[in-house]
Amino acid sequence: MSSTLGKFKIALVQLKVGADKGANLASARKLVIEAGAKGAKLVVLPECFNSPYGTQYFSKYAEEMSESGDKKSETVQALSEMAAKAGVYLVGGSIPEREAESGKLYNTSTVYDSSGTMVAKHRKVHLFDIDVPGKIRFIESEVLSAGDRGTVFDTPWGRIGLGICYDLRFPELAMIAARREGIKAMIYPGAFNMTTGPLHWELLLRARAVDNMIYVAGCGPARDLEASYHAWGHSTLVGPDGQVVAGSGFEETIVYGDMETSAIDGIREAIPIYKQRRFDVYPDVADEDSKYTKLQASKQFDDIADYTLKFGTINSKDSSISLVNSVLTKQVKVNKVF
Amino acid sequence: MSSTLGKFKIALVQLKVGADKGANLASARKLVIEAGAKGAKLVVLPECFNSPYGTQYFSKYAEEMSESGDKKSETVQALSEMAAKAGVYLVGGSIPEREAESGKLYNTSTVYDSSGTMVAKHRKVHLFDIDVPGKIRFIESEVLSAGDRGTVFDTPWGRIGLGICYDLRFPELAMIAARREGIKAMIYPGAFNMTTGPLHWELLLRARAVDNMIYVAGCGPARDLEASYHAWGHSTLVGPDGQVVAGSGFEETIVYGDMETSAIDGIREAIPIYKQRRFDVYPDVADEDSKYTKLQASKQFDDIADYTLKFGTINSKDSSISLVNSVLTKQVKVNKVF
């Protein structure tokens, strides 16, 4: 997506989520349509917006879905309809997904364009497993499987990257999406808790923004003191200069903020980190052609060539495998930085 | 460095730096000795602590030095003496260095143990070049050359990583030092300005801390309104949970803070990112054996083996080079993440 519109409004719907899926979907629909009516072009719902958050709930609330958004999933149908009705791009928070073939459960975010077509699906890559005896135990991986890739999608306002909650703690997804995929923003539906929320939610959103000079939006559910899990709320939009553009407290609300391509261009011109990274000193996690590895490898190219020359005739699969193994081992061993 | 003491005090000397090198060294000595007397075990000076900051000054103030800290450099001698006198590990901020052989200038930080022996030397890896016509022009690379490696050093309290100012904006140095070198802290002598300081200085220090769960210290010079460059000051120590432990304003002062290994262990147990990174999904910038590359390569291993088998006899340097080139090209091409 090379040409993009200059400015658009994003809305983060800090939804109050309860145990009734139908009621959650109805509340979401009402607020998504309200956001569209107020001019938002991209609307975001929180993590686990159609069910309570907790390993005990995922299986019960899980739905099967396909990439094309067919009729299997009640929530996919509802999200598709509300995106089209509101005329907005919609990041449908996340929901528990059951994969039809394997029966595996995932924490999955789906994205829709303004006609209601599903344009992206992200399965949470980093599952939160913690077990400190006597203190806290929360093992997502007991019931969830993890996604195995980063996700970006295109909009008329530019490409956008997607992560879910704990994914926010791992900088690589945003680094790769920003450097290689050219995203304008990372969006994280999330549900940080009352400990990690005040400690780290805003800091991590700001860190991803300043290191990549992109917009970063985090959208959490409103706090429900009657639920077993108390979410931090505080849905927040951060600008490409790392400063908070708009945010909220705990209550159910919609956070609005403008995203402007010129702000991204401005900060990258003022502080030109995109031109000054030293991929001769350290590898670029975003470089699929791995220039760093090539550079390092080229330094030992002659050694390797000498080795293969000594090898002589390759006349069996075994000798071929042995040769390749030697070359690869030698090649990857040179990837030392410090 | 596997065994480390549990707790120690760090001091960040927010020195007022002027145009008189001898006076700067005398002020530094006084404050370093004061910090040692107050119990600091590791003392840090700011970037460019022996001279004004500016491309017009680097050549005039530059000194030659050797790795062993011989008598060539007035500042190296002074730092060595004050470290021993104070009985502290000393991160000697940075000074303009002239490399004897090449005549090249570097922005260089040297580190001394409590006997005054130089134990590390870091040359600023990322030079700040900015040229926005009509707005600001500051091109470090017009007079400085850049370092080509990250730097760590060992203390009785654990291994510590080192960067200088603009290095702070590039997360890889800290990521690699934390993941592979096992550092307890990153230390950045720096001199952010009155624009980037309030915007990003504390945010970047906190971002490096929370993403790597290490201590991060930034030490700047006091603000001198009579100088051509107005530094942000605000020397700050951030804990491994990303929270500010101690900080200052603009004035000449010493910032003290405790660093505790238990705090690092505690946050890493509570939020176990070190066990949950997904190096099957993205590469690890810190992995010199490049397990990710190996994993990806292994998926195409058979294809490559088949290729070399087709290649047949290697009986010349040319055919050897051609084969290696084919294998490497194929191997690095598979490094696709998204």
Rounded to an integer, what is the distance from CA B208 to the centroid of its chain? 11
User: Which residues of A are known catalytic residues?
Assistant: 47, 124, 165
Rounded to whole angstroms, what are the CA distances from B196 to A242, A271, B203?
A: 11, 9, 11
> pLDDT tier at B336 (50, 70, 90 boundaries)?
very low
Q: Is A296 helix (H, G, I), strand (E, B) or coil?
A: helix
| Percent of the residues in chain A that have a pLDDT greater than 90, as a whole number | 70
Interchain proximity B210–A207, CB inside 8 Å: yes
Look at residue A127 in the predicted model and tell me its pLDDT: 96
CATH 3.60.110.10 domain position(s) in chain A: 7-276
* Residue A69 predicted with pLDDT over 80: no
**Smallest Cα distance from A122 to chain B, Å:** 11
Report angle CA A318, A323, A325 to the nearest 5 degrees.
95
CA end-to-end span of chain B? 37
B219 is catalytic: no
Which pair of tokens denotes residue B150?
């990250």
Q: What is the mean pLDDT of chain B?
A: 87
The neighbour count for residue A317, using CB atoms within 10 Å, is: 13
Judge whether B126 is closer than 8 Å to chain A, CB to CB. yes
* Residue A115 predicted with pLDDT over 90: yes
Interchain proximity B210–A203, CB inside 8 Å: yes
Backbone angles phi, psi at B185, to 5 degrees: -155, 150
**Whose structure tokens read 């899926």?**
A21
Residues of chain B with Cβ-Cβ distance to A331 below 8 Å are 328, 331
Q: How far, in Å, CA of B274 to CA of B269, rounded?
A: 9
Judge whether B210 is closer than 8 Å to chain A, CB to CB. yes
> pLDDT tier at A305 (50, 70, 90 boundaries)?
low
* Residue A87 predicted with pLDDT over 80: yes
Nearest CA in chain A to B330: A289
Judge whether A26 is closer than 8 Å to chain B, CB to CB. no
The 3-class secondary structure across B151-211, one letter per residue, is: EEEEECCEEEEECCHHHHHCCHHHHHHHHCCCCCEEEEECCCECCHHHHHHHHHHHHHHHH
Out of A270-279, B163-172, B228-237, B296-305, pick the least confident. B296-305
Look at residue A280 in the predicted model and tell me its pLDDT: 82
Look at residue A336 in the predicted model and tell me its pLDDT: 30
Helix (H) or strand (E) holding B327: helix B317-333
Tens digit of pLDDT for each residue in A123-168?
999 999 888 777 778 899 999 999 989 999 999 999 999 999 999 9
Which pair of tokens denotes residue A146?
């993890």
Look at residue B297 in the predicted model and tell me its pLDDT: 46
Residues 230-249, chain A, touching B (beta carbon < 8 A): 241-243
Dihedral angle of Cα A18, A20, A21, A22, to the nearest 10 degrees: -120
Look at residue A38 in the predicted model and tell me its pLDDT: 98
Exposure b/e, A31-55, CB count within 10 A at least 16 = b: bbbebbeeebbbbbbbbbbbbbbee
Which pair of tokens denotes residue B286?
């810190």
Out of A276-290, B83-97, B117-131, pick the least confident. A276-290
Look at residue B310 in the predicted model and tell me its pLDDT: 63
Look at residue B132 in the predicted model and tell me its pLDDT: 77
Q: Which of A140, A236, A280, A282 to mutate to test the interface with B (most CBs of B within 10 A)?
A: A282
Q: What is the mean pLDDT of chain A?
A: 87
Which pair of tokens denotes residue A99?
């994969």
Residues of chain A with Cβ-Cβ distance to B200 below 8 Å are 210, 241-242
Judge whether A297 is closer than 8 Å to chain B, CB to CB. yes
Out of A177-191, B66-80, B87-101, B164-178, pick the least confident. B66-80
Dihedral angle of Cα B328, A290, B334, A178, to the nearest 10 degrees: -170
Residues 135-194, chain A, touching B (beta carbon < 8 A): 135-136, 146, 148-152, 166, 169-173, 175-177, 180-181
Question: Beta partners for A186?
Answer: A161, A216
Most confident of A312-321, B188-197, B288-297, B325-334: B188-197
B178 or B2, higher pLDDT: B178
Residues of chain B with Cβ-Cβ distance to A338 below 8 Å are 149-152, 176-177, 180-181
Q: Which of B273, B280, B331 to mutate to test the interface with A (most CBs of A within 10 A)?
A: B331
Q: Are B187 and A183 in contact (CB under 8 A)?
A: no
> pLDDT tier at A297 (50, 70, 90 boundaries)?
very low
* Residue B72 predicted with pLDDT over 50: yes
Rounded to whole angstroms, what are the CA distances from A11 to A41, A80, A219?
A: 8, 17, 9
Which pair of tokens denotes residue A166?
């704990």
List B9, B21, B124, B184, catalytic entry: B124
> pLDDT tier at B69 (50, 70, 90 boundaries)?
low
Number of H helices, E strands in chain A: 11, 15
Look at residue B1 in the predicted model and tell me its pLDDT: 38
pTM for this model (two decimals): 0.87
Look at residue A338 in the predicted model and tell me its pLDDT: 41
Q: How far, in Å, CA of A103 to CA of A220, rounded?
A: 27
Exposure b/e, A170-207, CB count within 10 A at least 16 = b: bbbbbbbbbbbbebbbbbbbbbbbeebbebbbbbbbbb
CATH superfamily of this structure's domain B7-276:
Carbon-nitrogen hydrolase (3.60.110.10)
> pLDDT tier at B162 (50, 70, 90 boundaries)?
very high
What is chain A's alpha carbon radius of gyration, rounded to the nearest angstrom?
A: 23
Judge whether A293 is closer than 8 Å to chain B, CB to CB. yes
> pLDDT tier at A63 (50, 70, 90 boundaries)?
very high
Q: Is B102 helix (H, G, I), strand (E, B) or coil?
A: coil
The neighbour count for residue B206, using CB atoms within 10 Å, is: 23
Q: Are A228 and A54 in contact (CB under 8 A)?
A: yes
> pLDDT tier at A3 (50, 70, 90 boundaries)?
very low
Helix, strand, coil abundance in chain B, percent, nearest 5 = 35, 25, 40
Question: Beta partners for A138?
Answer: A130
* Residue B215 predicted with pLDDT over 70: yes
Closest CA to B113 of B168, B63, B157: B157
Q: Are B167 and B197 in contact (CB under 8 A)?
A: no
B47 is catalytic: yes
Rounded to whole angstroms, what are the CA distances from A194 to A187, A255, A333, B212, B237?
A: 21, 20, 44, 22, 25
The mean pLDDT of B92-119, rounded to a whole number, is: 96
CA end-to-end span of chain A? 37
Nearest to B338 among A150, A196, A331 (CB): A150
Q: How far, in Å, CA of A291 to CA of B72, rounded?
A: 39
Tens digit of pLDDT for each residue in B8-55?
999 999 999 999 999 999 999 999 999 999 999 999 999 999 999 888
Out of A17-21, B203-207, B226-230, B328-332, pick the least confident. B328-332
Backbone angles phi, psi at A330, to 5 degrees: -65, -40
Nearest to A314 among B151, B241, B309 (CB): B309
Interchain proximity B281–A148, CB inside 8 Å: yes
